[in-house]
Amino acid sequence: MKPAPFDYLRADDEEEAVAALAEAGDDARLLAGGQTLMPMLNMRLVEPAVLIDISRLPGRAGIEDDGTLIEVGAAATQASLEAWPPLSARAPLLARALPLIGHVQTRSRGTVCGSIAFADPSAELSLCLATLGGEVVLRSRAGTRTLPAAAFQTGMLSTACRADEMVAAVRFPAAEPGAGYAFTEFARRHGDFAIVAVAAIAQENGIRIGVGGACERPVVQDWPPLAGSALDDALDALAWSLDAADDHHASARYRRELVRGLGKRAVQAAQETRP
């Protein structure tokens, strides 16, 4: 459980990082919090020629709120977002999801952008970004482009990020007035990846629901206001539409059941938390 040899470059600024990335391309890996990459290196599941450490990029460790979007930089840890004082007022969905991500130890190293970039189908942050309709800022030597979440995550562990690009920041839409937010998930143990996770946003004129863990990437749907059996029917249709898969931990059928049940809990909780 020792990595293969690699070169290590700690980027002093973003230009240096993207220049190195342009040079090494597929042979490079970006190291931020290392919570996924380090085990993969140690298991020799990846053997990059060079590691580009972006964990100390100046100006990318912070959280900026421009009134509409909350931008989290590439070096910002999950713990720093969790500890951001206005979090529960400005991003209530994230405030509910963050404590469910791993453990306090992994959050103190793991970055928000690293989780989005890795694109695990069960990742709480990817689900929040997709449900909120956020965006991802990609930076390369050629310049900067911004993709909506739905265009960024293309499948299981796969994204639209090119080999010469880094996720420089992600932007979460700030809380909307009159909206209620809820996040619920089921995991085997405290801190485990969710078998199914559901994010819900309730507004006066509709419901938005996002489901993670059940299939390759988060699925988001917008519904009119629903309750009772109409809500059950919508959740049932959603559950069947996901094309959930069997694996070592759970069957597809079990996942559908969780989508129905957790979905109902999440939607109702979101409706109840509307101001």
Q: Where does this chain bind other proteins (CB under 8 A)? A: 1-5, 43-44, 186, 188-193, 195, 221-224, 226, 230, 233-234, 236-238, 240-241, 248-251, 253-254, 256-258, 261-262
From residue 213, alpha-carbon distances to 40, 56, 110 in Å are 21, 31, 19
Q: Residue 203 or 221: which CB sits closer to other proteins?
A: 221
Using CA atoms, how far apart are residues 25 and 164, in angstroms rounded to an integer?
Answer: 5
Q: How many whole angstroms separate alpha carbon 230 and alpha carbon 215?
A: 24
Name the residue nearer to other proteins (CB basis): 173 or 191: 191
Type of residue found at 112: V
CB of 63 to other proteins, least distance (A): 28
Instruction: Choose between 82 and 185: whose C-beta lies nearer to other proteins.
Output: 185
Least distance between other proteins and beta carbon 166 (Å): 26
How far is 9 from 52, CA to CA, in rounded Å? 5
The minimum distance between CB 220 and other proteins, in angstroms, equals: 9
CB of 9 to other proteins, least distance (A): 19
Considering the complex, what minimum distance in angstroms separates the CB of residue 70 from other proteins?
26
The 8-class DSSP code of residue 134 comes to: -
Q: How many other CB atoms are found less than 10 A from the CB of residue 258?
A: 24
Judged by beta carbon, residue 3 or residue 62, the one nearer other proteins is 3
Alpha-carbon span 247 to 255, nearest angstrom: 10
Spatial CA neighbour of 163 closest among 49, 33, 73: 49
Pair of tokens at residue 129: 């970004």
If the CB atoms of residues 60 and 255 are measured against other proteins, the closer one turns out to be 255
Q: In a 3-state reduction of DSSP, which class is residue 225? A: coil
* Shortest distance (Å) from residue 179 CB to other proteins: 17
CA torsion angle for 89, 92, 95, 98 (degrees, to 10)?
Answer: -150
- The nearer residue to other proteins, 19 or 46, going by C-beta atoms, is 46
Q: Are 169 and 144 in contact (CB under 8 A)?
A: no
